[in-house]
Every structure is written in structure tokens, then in C-alpha cells.
Amino acid sequence: MDTKIILSATWVVVTLIYLYGDVLRICSGDLAKKPMADKNLNQFVWLGIAVLMLTPILMVFLPLVMPQSVSRWVNIIVAAFFFLFNLVGLPTYASLYDKFLLAVNMGFNGITIWYAWNWS
């Protein structure tokens, strides 16, 4: 199978896992325990959060249209960033389902890095 499609598919999985975790947090009531609105965040912080969470969504599309040499390194760098971001954030989640989903997500970040690294 074409590596571009595999990389795009790994980003689809990563994006869906993030969304599924958010849905579970809402349904379980965990989100209500730590409302972000109480933190008095300014528009630039919310913009940063939007850019952060838009990145894996864009990575569904970008491997399909970028040149192979550029796509390879973009996939490696972005997947490594999200792997480390999730690794650092993992202890801050109390729920087992969150830890499980983040671990699976990190696994898919690793798969993304492996496919991009071995792309010939």
C-alpha cells in the first residue's frame, strides 16, 4: 500500500482518538470537574489550543499532497512532537480511559514515525 495513504490513515486514527477521548470526558463528567473556562484564558491561549488540535487534522491531508522528501520529515517531526506532548501530559490525567487512549495514540505516533522513517 502507498505510504502516503498509510500516513494519512495514522493521522485519521490519532484525530479520532483525541475526539473520542473528549466525548468520553464529557459523558463521564470528568470535563465538568476541571472547566477550562474557570482558568481565565485569553484569546491567544485559545488560538494556541486551536492550532495544536488542528495540526493532526491537517496531517490527514498533508501527506497526500506534499512532496515525499518534505512529507517524510514533517510526519516524523509532528508525530514526535505529539508523542512527547502526550508523554508529558499522561500523568496529569486521572482516568484510566484517558491514559489508555493516550497510550494508544502514542503507539500510532510511533507507527507514523516508523513508516515515515522507512519511506523510500
CA atoms within 13 Å, Cβ hemisphere of 49:
7
pLDDT (tens digit, 9 = 90+) per residue, 20-30?
Answer: 999 999 899 88
Among 23-27, 65-69, 72-76, 78-82, which stretch is predicted with the lowest mean pLDDT?
Answer: 23-27
| 70: helix, strand or coil | helix
- pLDDT tens, 81-118? 999 999 999 999 989 999 999 999 999 999 999 999 99
Dist CA 51 CA 45 (whole Å): 10
- Give the C-alpha separation, 120 to 116, whole Å: 9
pLDDT at 36: 64
Give dist(CA 29, CA 38) in Å, integer.
16
